[in-house]
Each structure stands twice: as structure tokens, then as C-alpha cells.
């Protein structure tokens, strides 16, 4: 694979993140609207049945793809035989998993205690075949960083399938089957649109020599994905079993307040970072520089955000969850220490995938699961705070394990690896102290919860803005310049704003750090 020029790769990565973020936000907004409409056309039992079927199908999903999409993106060199092998293997796996799920669907009644889920599992299992048919095309688009095309495909498919077919069938009285039809139609449209864009060969290919490297890599990716699934759900399983459903509900709501924003950010970044990192897999020095930059940028935003959440937790819980959820406040504050580490270690995991260090990553996840279970068993007696503390300590340990793996693989010093947290910690300190002062002033005034939270958000944003614009880190500086130049070029920008931007550009030039002498 030819080396991609640095400027071209940076621009493509930035553009990919913008489009992926746009598609994620647009889909989330459409989901809210779709849910609001369907909730008035269907009864809750319909949604419950589909959720049950989804739990069953989620496990089949780990084996239907076998990491073949990842393998196609990660391969240093592609040949027509590689593409045909991926398509053939994905179709065979998709058909096999769909058949197994169809035959074993009655077993779901044993776990879910509802016979109505059987025909739904069988219908939705067809999605494995549909996804398999489009997986190769979608992966090729990801490999070429064509995330604008993928975003348009996702949005168009969602609008047509859910907004058109799903709502239309629900209006006509199709009940739960309107949800099933919308899901299958969305997968079908994504497959059709992706293949219409790429047009790869669909001839099946025989010969084990074409499949061995793909399945070796993809199989390890599937195992790691399953281990990470266990990692992220271990707290839910153990709290429900050891503490009961009520504490689990409190913990879950507190966790989701922070996890959902972090998930949307990680989804947008991670989806683009993997193909971008894969293009640099044979250039460890350059990959190390990109890794440090990406991690620093995310830490610069997520650490101040979580510091603000920790201080404003009482107002956040009161406004978003209500007065009955006050027990969630200390849990949210403790989790504010863990979520930033989840986000910053994301890139280290992507580097391991791009460099095919999958055995090391698998061993790391097994070590983390073992440690997490021991921490849970040792701290659950302290209730939800003990569980939250176990998550925090586990994430510190996991960050250390990934730091060691990245140090060994990319030859980055521990000083460099720890340095990615510097700008974020400075921002977190500034935002935290600002909100602490603001909170001490406004809490005795007994303001309405929403008013108090808005004041905290505004002051936190102002504080972070001053820190970022007055003392931008070397990693943030080029991104800041690019964004401000884009604003400057807009025709509708007032002349006064242009004058302020001119002065700021001069300031950035005067304060730009000079390279160290050789």
C-alpha cells in the first residue's frame, strides 16, 4: 500500500471525524423522533419483544463477521483475491449463523420466558445474511476513509427504512412486525447503497491460503470484542446479582449520564482512527506521533468535561433524573474519574488492532477481567461507591497495561505517554476550581435546578475556552487554526470579528513554540 502524505491523511481523518460525528448526531436525533412516533402507534410490549430478540442476536453477531471487516481495513496490501475471500467468508458465516439462530430460536424461551420472541429472532436472523452481503463494500469505504459517503448512506437508509417503511407499517396496524421490517430494510438499504458505490467482485473464492491470514486476524478480533463486551457489562451483572435491582438502577443511570456522551465521541473517533492508524502500521514512528496527538486532543476535552461533571453532579442529577435519585450523585462523582481513562485508552487499543498486536491485547483483556472481578468482590460490601471505585481502580490499571504495550510496540517513552494527560489535567484543574467557586456562590441562593446547571455550564465553558485559546497545547494549535480560518472565510462574519481573529492569529504566531536545537 502506498504511503499516504501526512497532510492528506490528516485532512481525510479530520473530515472523516466530522462526517461520522454528523451522522451519529443526526441518527440520534432521528431515533428520538422515531421513538416518539412509534411509542404512540405501538404498545410497550412490542418494544420489549424486540429488545429481548436483540439480546439473543447480539451474541450471534460476534461470530457472524469474525472480524473480517477489521481484517480488510487493516491489511497492508489488498489484492482482488483478498476482497473475494472476505466476501466469500462473510457470506458463508452470515448464512451459517443465520441458520443456527433460526434453529436454536426456541431455546430463547428458556432464558426469556416469552414464546413471542421466537418468530422475531428467526426473522431478524436474516439480517446476518443481509449484513454479510454488504460488509465487504462498507469495509472498503472505511479503508479509503470515505466517511462522508458512509454517513450519507447511513442517514438515507435510516430515513427510508424507519421513517418511511417502519412508521407506515405501524400506522397500517402491523404491530411489532413494523419494527422488524424497519430493521431489516435499513440493513438491506445500507448493503445496496454501499455495493452500488464500490462494485467489488462477488465471485466466490476457494483455497484456504486466501483465508488463513484473514480468519487468524479476524478470529482474534472477535474474541477480543467478546472480552471487551464482558468488561463493559461486568459491573451490571455483578451489581444485579450482589446488590439487587434498585441499586443497579441507580448505578446504571449515573453511569449513562457520563457514558453516553463519551460513547458518541469514542464511536465517532474510533470509527475513523482505525483505518487511519492502519495506513501507518508499517511506520511506527509516524504512528506514534499521530497516537500522541489524538490522545492529547481527546484528553484535553474529556478531562475538563468530567471535572465539571464531578463538581456539578448534584445539579445534573436533580435536573436530568429528579429528586428521587440523589444516591446517584456520589456514584457519578467517582465515575467521573474512570470515564476519562476509558476514552484515552481507546486509542491504545486501536493502535494494537492496527499493528495486529492481538495476542497481547487479548492477554491484557484477560488480566483486566480477572482484576475487575477481584476488585468487585473486595469492594462490593461498600455498596455502589465500592463498585464505582472498583471501576476507577480497574481503569487506572488498564491504562497502565496499555501504556506498557504501547511503549514496547511504538518505542514511546513513558514520559511521552504520560504527557498526553498534561493539557487535559490543566484544563480539568481550571474548570474544576471555577465551578467549585461558582457552586459555592449559587447553591445557598436555592436557585431552580435548571438555572443553576445552566450557570455552571456557561462558566465551565468560559473557563475552558480561556484556557484553550490563551494557552493552546502544541497538539491543539493546528486544529484551532484550521477551525478559526474556516470561520474567517465565511462571508457573513462581521468585520469586527475578523479584526479580532486577525489579532488572535498574530498572537498564535508570536507564542508558537520554537523547535529545540539539534
Q: What does each of the 518 residues of the chain score in pLDDT, given as a tens digit?
A: 444 455 566 566 666 766 777 777 777 678 767 777 877 787 767 776 776 677 667 777 767 777 777 777 777 777 888 888 888 888 988 899 899 889 888 876 665 566 777 888 889 899 999 989 998 998 888 888 787 888 889 889 999 998 899 999 999 988 889 989 999 999 999 999 999 998 888 888 777 666 677 666 767 777 777 777 777 667 766 776 677 666 766 776 677 677 666 666 666 666 777 777 877 888 888 888 888 888 888 888 889 988 998 999 899 888 877 777 788 888 888 888 888 888 788 888 888 888 888 888 889 988 988 998 899 888 888 888 888 888 889 889 999 999 999 999 899 999 999 998 988 999 999 999 999 999 999 989 888 888 998 999 999 999 988 888 888 877 777 777 777 887 777 777 788 888 888 888 888 777 776 554 43
Boundary residue ending a domain (158, 176, 210): 210
Q: What is the DSSP letter of 342?
A: H
514 belongs to a structural domain: no
**Which residue, chain included where needed, has cell 479509503?**
144
Question: Is residue 13 within a helix (H) or strand (E), and if so which, with residue range?
Answer: helix 6-41
Whether 441 and 480 share a structural domain: no
Whether 186 and 257 share a structural domain: no
297, 303, 308, 313: CA torsion to nearest 10: 130
215 belongs to a structural domain: no
CA-based nearest residue to 399, from 383, 414, 388: 414
How far is it, in rounded angstroms, from Cα 272 to Cα 21? 10
Whether 382 and 494 share a structural domain: no
Q: What is the DSSP letter of 1?
A: -
Residue 313, domain extent: 228-471
Whether 128 and 19 share a structural domain: yes
Whether 292 and 178 share a structural domain: no
Whether 155 and 299 share a structural domain: no
**Which residue, chain included where needed, has cell 473530515?**
15
Whether 369 and 444 share a structural domain: yes
* 160 burial level (CB within 10 Å; 0-12, 13-18, 19+): middle
How far is it, in rounded angstroms, from Cα 43 to Cα 48? 9
Q: What is the pTM of this model?
A: 0.70
What is the number of structural domains in the chain?
A: 3
329 belongs to a structural domain: yes
How far is it, in rounded angstroms, from Cα 302 to Cα 101? 40
72 belongs to a structural domain: yes
97 belongs to a structural domain: yes
Count of CB atoms situated within 10 Å of the CB of 357: 18
Whether 189 and 287 share a structural domain: no
Whether 299 and 332 share a structural domain: yes
The C-alpha cell at 26 is: 443526526
DSSP secondary structure string for all residues of 186-239: HHHHHHHHHHHHH---------GGGTHHHHHHHHHHHHHHHHHHHHHHHHHHHH
> What's the angle, vertex CA 270, arms to CA 483 and CA 144, rounded to 5?
80
Contact 154, 190 (CB under 8 A): yes
CA-based nearest residue to 147, from 74, 200, 197, 83: 197
For the chain, helix (H) and strand (E) counts, in that order, are 21, 0
98, 188, 71, 27: CA torsion to nearest 10: -120
DSSP secondary structure string for all residues of 23-81: HHHHHHHHHHHHHHHHHHHS-HHHHHHHHHHHHHHHHHHHHHSTTHHHHHHH-SS--HH
Whether 259 and 150 share a structural domain: no
Contact 74, 217 (CB under 8 A): yes
518 belongs to a structural domain: no
516 belongs to a structural domain: no
CA-based nearest residue to 302, from 272, 328, 268: 268
The C-alpha cell at 184 is: 431489516
Whether 329 and 445 share a structural domain: yes
420 belongs to a structural domain: yes
Contact 226, 62 (CB under 8 A): yes
Count of CB atoms situated within 10 Å of the CB of 411: 11
pLDDT of residue 405: 92
Whether 396 and 504 share a structural domain: no
CA-based nearest residue to 259, from 154, 371, 395: 395
Question: Is residue 124 within a helix (H) or strand (E), and if so which, with residue range?
Answer: helix 117-124
Amino acid at each position: 500500500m502506498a504511503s499516504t502524505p501526512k497532510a492528506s491523511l490528516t485532512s481525510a481523518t479530520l473530515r472523516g471525524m466530522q462526517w461520522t460525528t454528523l451522522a451519529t448526531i443526526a441518527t440520534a436525533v432521528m431515533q428520538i423522533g422515531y421513538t416518539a412516533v412509534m411509542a404512540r402507534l405501538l404498545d410497550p410490549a412490542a418494544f420489549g419483544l424486540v429488545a429481548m430478540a436483540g439480546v439473543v442476536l447480539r451474541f450471534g453477531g460476534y461470530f457472524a463477521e469474525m472480524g473480517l471487516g477489521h481484517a480488510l481495513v487493516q491489511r497492508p496490501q489488498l489484492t482482488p483475491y483478498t476482497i473475494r475471500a472476505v466476501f466469500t467468508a462473510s457470506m458463508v458465516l452470515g448464512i451459517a449463523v443465520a441458520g443456527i439462530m433460526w434453529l436454536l430460536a426456541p431455546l430463547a424461551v428458556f432464558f426469556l420466558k416469552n414464546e413471542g420472541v421466537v418468530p422475531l429472532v428467526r426473522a431478524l436472523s436474516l439480517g446476518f445474511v443481509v449484513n454479510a452481503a454488504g460488509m465487504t463494500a462498507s469495509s472498503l469505504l472505511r479503508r479509503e476513509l470515505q466517511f462522508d459517503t458512509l454517513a450519507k448512506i447511513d442517514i438515507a437508509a435510516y430515513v427510508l427504512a424507519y421513517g418511511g417503511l417502519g412508521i407506515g407499517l405501524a400506522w397500517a396496524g402491523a404491530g411489532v412486525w413494523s419494527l422488524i421490517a424497519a430493521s431489516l430494510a435499513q440493513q438491506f438499504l445500507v448493503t445496496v447503497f454501499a455495493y452500488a458505490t464500490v462494485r467489488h467482485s462477488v465471485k466466490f473464492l476457494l483455497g484456504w491460503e486466501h483465508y488463513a491470514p484473514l480468519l487468524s486476524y479476524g478470529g482474534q478480533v472477535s474474541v477480543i470484542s467478546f472480552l471487551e463486551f464482558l468488561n463493559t457489562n461486568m459491573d451490571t451483572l455483578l451489581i444485579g446479582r450482589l446488590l439487587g435491582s434498585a441499586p443497579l438502577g441507580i448505578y446504571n443511570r449515573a453511569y449513562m449520564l457520563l457514558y453516553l456522551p463519551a460513547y458518541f465521541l469514542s464511536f465517532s473517533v474510533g470509527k475513523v482512527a482505525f483505518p487511519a492508524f492502519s495506513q501507518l502500521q508499517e511506520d511506527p514512528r509516524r504512528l506514534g506521533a499521530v497516537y500522541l496527538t489524538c490522545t492529547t486532543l481527546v484528553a484535553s476535552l474529556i478531562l475538563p468535561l468530567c471535572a465539571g461533571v464531578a463538581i456539578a453532579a448534584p445539579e445534573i442529577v436533580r435536573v436530568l433524573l429528579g429528586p428521587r435519585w440523589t444516591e446517584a450523585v456520589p456514584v457519578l462523582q467517582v465515575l467521573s474519574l474512570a470515564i476519562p481513562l476509558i476514552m484515552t485508552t481507546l486509542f491504545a487499543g486501536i493502535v494494537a488492532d492496527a499493528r495486529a498486536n492481538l495476542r497481547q491485547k487479548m492477554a491484557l483483556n484477560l488480566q483486566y477481567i480477572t482484576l475487575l472481578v477481584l476488585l468487585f468482590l473486595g469492594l462490593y460490601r461498600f455498596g455502589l461507591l465500592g463498585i464505582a471505585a472498583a471501576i476507577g481502580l480497574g481503569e487506572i490499571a488498564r491504562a497502565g497495561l496499555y501504556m506498557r504495550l504501547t511503549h514496547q510496540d511504538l518505542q514511546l517513552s513513558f514520559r511521552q505517554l504520560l504527557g498526553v494527560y498534561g493539557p487535559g489535567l490543566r484544563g480539568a484543574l481550571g474548570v474544576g476550581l471555577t465551578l467549585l467557586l461558582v457552586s459555592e456562590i449559587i447553591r445557598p441562593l436555592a436557585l431552580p435546578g435548571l438555572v443553576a446547571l445552566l450557570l455552571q455550564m456557561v462558566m465551565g465553558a468560559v473557563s475552558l475556552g480561556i484556557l484553550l485559546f490563551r494557552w493552546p497545547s502544541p497538539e491543539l494549535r493546528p486544529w484551532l487554526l484550521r477551525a478559526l480560518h474556516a470561520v474567517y472565510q465565511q462571508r457573513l462574519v462581521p468585520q469586527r470579528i475578523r479584526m479580532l481573529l486577525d489579532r488572535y492569529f498574530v498572537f498564535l504566531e508570536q507564542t508558537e513554540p520554537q523547535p529545540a536545537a539539534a
